[in-house]
Structure 1
Amino acid sequence: MNPGKVEWNEENKPQPDMELLEQWISRQEDQMREDIAALIRIPSIADQQEAIPGAPYGKKCREALEQMRAFGLREQMETEDIDGHCLTIATGKGNVEIGIWNHLDVVPEGKGWIYPPYTCTEKDGYLIGRGVQDNKGPAVAVLYAMKYCREKEILNNIKVRQILGCQEENGMPDVEYYLKYKKAPEYSFVADCGFPVCCGEKGHCIVLMETVSAVEGILEFDGGTAPNSVPSFAHAVAENKIGQKSEETAVGISGHAAFPDGTQNAIGILCGKLKMQNFPEQTKRALEFVERLSEGGYGEKTEICCSDECSGRLTCNIGQAFLHEGHLRIVIDIRYPVTKKTEDFLPKLQTEAAKSGIRIIGIEDSRPYYMNPEQPFIQTLMEAWREVTGLEGRPFVMGGGTYARKIPNAVAFGPGQERNLDRLGLPKGHGNCHCADEAELFENLKNAVKIYVFALKKLDKRIKEIR
């Protein structure tokens, strides 16, 4: 992610100990790669239907927590298992707790990968595999920043606790469980975003809709793997009036639901193909509505679009579509501006859907959040970013959702930085998080370690002022 224009600022030069930190990171590179690869090998897709005692999100998520716990113990840090919902790794001597949050669950791999999704492949300085961006690579970067601080005995006024969950991608019940049974850190940042500081997030609404009547002539329909991913593939089987069956497929361009520019929704493309067939009028109207709703990624053809100056436009993604007892169901991911409410757009969506024989059957809403960018905690993080990078930037608001929206006194802070995926020669739509061939520049992760070390040093020195 590149959250905004940045410029060189010659006044923000690195501190004298940058060279020592860079030498230390250079010595850690091989181990960092191995640690990231170990996590990538675990297909930690959360599934509460596979819950067992101690593994509320399935065995693979539990395995990822155990692997991370092994890293923490190896580095002689305190670890605590929060009933399989979260793991914590802590270091520092102070009484004021600073939380750094990551997640170890990943979205399903989907289709079309060139490289194996659960092997960490290195090419041209990039690491490729599910989770290298979102959020296993960042979790390792945070751990190494904490390791440096522990080895150099930097943290005397704060205690830093890395908190790792396993159900971030679907509802975040893991962080809710943590906050129910554990005290929230005094301040937190979530390492699951872009630099510099994300001080707010759009509202996040998941809407489940279905056709009022069964869709005649469609025997199978399947598209998408998760609400927050733009689907790259969709498939259907249709039957005409004389019993002849035909198969239709559609290929789109995947991406994160919150950042639809450059994506193409395969579900909408498939509906556009199907509507040309000789279906009953009711089925055609439903297909046309789904096609309109999925086009462009901003809901503009259904009159739900809205925006504000602070956070930009509402985004709308049909992430999944399937048949349920003959009815077509769609799962919609909507990210709406921080100054808006669901009441501003859901009635319009409901009215438009009803004209096409579709109704809303379920809604989950996570309200927007926003923290004043002048707050001293945010300004301290911004200073660390500027000193390490020599770049100038400003706090921003985004459509992506992180744990920060659930946690008191929290923002999102890196580690996303500029990257040129073109050099990998990947097909369009590959390389980003939630996409096939998810990739991250290893240099970016090393740079994140530096920024986090500087941020923690500053917080340790200034915690009394910040409070």
Structure 2
Amino acid sequence: METKIKALVEENWEDFLNDLAQVIRIPSVQGIAEANCPFGREPKAAVLQALEIAKGYGFETKLVNQAVGYAQFGESRVDQKYLGIIGHLDVVPADESNWDSPPFALSRRNGVLYARGILDNKGPIMSCLFGLKLIKDLGIQPKIPIRILFGSNEEMGSHDMPLYLEKEVPPIFGFTPDCKYPVVYGERGIVNLAIKTTIEDAATVKLGDFRGQMSRSIVPSELSVIFDEQKITALGKSSPSNAPEMGVNSITKLAHELSEILPSGALKTYFSWLDDHLSEEYYGGKLGIGYSDEASGKLIVTPVLIEKIDDQNLLLELAIRYPISVTQDMIITAIKEHLPQKSQVTVTRALKGTNFPIDNPYIKLLSDIYGSVTGLDVKPVTTTGATYARYMPNTVAFGPSFPGQKGIAHKENEYFVEADLKTNLIIYALAIYKLCLSASGNNTRTD
């Protein structure tokens, strides 16, 4: 079957790209909530476009609570059991001035595909839909339905999944193609801490507001502030907040600059602390939270926001990804011992980690397919990322990034090597094929 699917992917590749381009062209960034558009018009428009394509493939489709669409292969059962593949069509913003080609048009250059969402997550979830089509065209029928779910709010908190679960039961097993290979059985816990520090120093009055693009999902690349009528600017390099070592954080760079020029006093002491404890200190050791475990590796900490509240108070927000054996309370208790004086800690975001049973038969099924196609190590892994697996029961992450591929999403010129996307389509089509056999009670057949 693997040889047959590879041939089908080659034969139908251009058709797939044409269909993918229809979804790419919609700038599905979260907008203002409206009646029947809980996350704005464009994310819903992308979902509706995907459902229209799915209808053309001959699948039953449905829009659930105006937030999540699905395409179903196989007849619904009285017991409502189904298998799920869950991805999202919403994307982060794209500043066209920083792109070499229009972000919302699928571009192809030297064997590489470029577009906002080509990796995260339009390319992977649409490849799952097309893989489902290829299996259907082969005449294979599952006894337990398979659904491809198209979400519309993953980038801004995954508030779409609770809306789906208000109306539908979760799958008996599912995967989301929105992370990395091999199978991701565990996701680290995430906690964001806002640290408000009172600074009794006349120099704070001379400090202006911090200017720059800061968000919880990225390492900020540029930041400036005025002190005593002098503008200080720090230029860094953006990267995902769960991979801070791949970027250069403008918050810590600016802290270093300020610690050098400020007069002695509490404000200088604060920025010196920030510089010492967080500049290129990605694993929390100087904050007393240098936890690690064998399953998930080291804790990761990233400064993502700094703000002047008033002439006596500054706020620093840290994004922390912690190992599956660690608790949020452990982190908060430890970090309080290493903060500047007169600091208060508030949790602004908290997501518990996930830990799917690694011996589940479906894990082996997906792992075997990945190994067969790629010849790479199939041992399941954990991740620092946050996917729909945190919100949809019975779900793991599976692809699309191969080992060593990191820090591509959420940036200008987001890309997917065409050969890699093609390999993903093969993997996902084979996974769907095996899930069809598993669903009928026979997961040992080979072709």
TM-score, normalized by the shorter chain, greater than 0.5: yes
| TM-superposed deviation, 1:149 | 1.7
Quick one: which amino acid aligns to residue 107 of structure 1? Answer: V
Counterparts of 2:301 and 2:130, CA distance in 1 = 37
Establish whether residue 461 from structure 1 lines up as the match of residue 403 from structure 2: no
Counterparts of 2:40 and 2:269, CA distance in 1 = 40
Counterparts of 1:432 and 1:180, CA distance in 2 = 34
Change over 3 Å in CA distance of 1:218–1:104 after alignment to 2 = farther
Quick one: which amino acid aligns to residue 5 of structure 2? Answer: L
Establish whether residue 364 from structure 1 lines up as the match of residue 340 from structure 2: no
Structure 2 match to 1:253: 237
| TM-superposed deviation, 1:279 | 5.3
Structure 2 match to 1:64: 46
Counterparts of 2:133 and 2:82, CA distance in 1 = 17
| TM-superposed deviation, 1:116 | 3.9
Structure 2 match to 1:202: 188
Structure 1 match to 2:169: 183
Out of 315-324 and 51-60, give the one that drifted further.
315-324
CA offsets 1:148-191 (integer angstroms, 9 cap, x no match): 12222223222111112122123221112212331101111111
Establish whether residue 142 from structure 1 lines up as the match of residue 141 from structure 2: no
Structure 2 match to 1:385: 370
CA offsets 1:363-400 (integer angstroms, 9 cap, x no match): 32211111222211101111211222233421111111
Does the CA-based 8 Å contact 2:2-2:430 persist in structure 1? no
Does the CA-based 8 Å contact 2:27-2:104 persist in structure 1? yes
SS of 1:448's partner is helix
1:163-242 pair list within 5 angstroms: 163-212=149-198, 215-238=204-227, 240=228
CA offsets 1:109-165 (integer angstroms, 9 cap, x no match): 368544443333222211122211111111111111111122222232221111121
Does the CA-based 8 Å contact 1:108-1:226 persist in structure 2? no
Question: What is the number of residues matched between the two proteins?
Answer: 433
Counterparts of 1:383 and 1:280, CA distance in 2 = 62
Candidates 53, 61, 82, aligned match of 1:97: 82
Counterparts of 2:234 and 2:337, CA distance in 1 = 28
Counterparts of 1:109 and 1:352, CA distance in 2 = 37
Q: Give unmatched runs, 5+ long, in structure 1.
A: 1-16, 421-428
Change over 3 Å in CA distance of 1:56–1:128 after alignment to 2 = same
Structure 2 match to 1:28: 12
Change over 3 Å in CA distance of 1:247–1:163 after alignment to 2 = same
Does the CA-based 8 Å contact 1:249-1:270 persist in structure 2? yes
- TM-score normalised to the size of structure 1? 0.85
Counterparts of 1:67 and 1:279, CA distance in 2 = 58
Change over 3 Å in CA distance of 1:71–1:254 after alignment to 2 = same
CA offsets 1:275-327 (integer angstroms, 9 cap, x no match): 22335733333333443335332223322221011110111112233444565
Change over 3 Å in CA distance of 1:23–1:398 after alignment to 2 = same
Does the CA-based 8 Å contact 1:264-1:296 persist in structure 2? no
SS of 2:389's partner is helix
Quick one: which amino acid aligns to residue 447 of structure 1? Answer: T
SS of 2:427's partner is helix
Q: Give unmatched runs, 5+ long, in structure 2.
A: none
Quick one: which amino acid aligns to residue 70 of structure 2? Answer: T
Q: Identity of counterpart residues, as a percentage? A: 28
Does the CA-based 8 Å contact 2:65-2:164 persist in structure 1? no
Quick one: which amino acid aligns to residue 319 of structure 2? Answer: D
Out of 264-273 and 383-392, give the one that drifted further.
383-392
Change over 3 Å in CA distance of 1:307–1:280 after alignment to 2 = same
1:304-383 pair list within 5 angstroms: 304-324=289-309, 327-355=313-341, 357-383=342-368
- TM-score normalised to the size of structure 2? 0.89
Candidates 250, 253, 259, aligned match of 1:269: 253
Structure 1 match to 2:106: 120
Counterparts of 1:94 and 1:79, CA distance in 2 = 12
Counterparts of 1:75 and 1:201, CA distance in 2 = 34
| TM-superposed deviation, 1:465 | 6.9
Supply the RMSD in Å over aligned alpha carbons. Answer: 2.5
Does the CA-based 8 Å contact 2:197-2:340 persist in structure 1? no
| TM-superposed deviation, 1:219 | 1.6
Establish whether residue 447 from structure 1 lines up as the match of residue 423 from structure 2: yes
Does the CA-based 8 Å contact 1:228-1:317 persist in structure 2? no
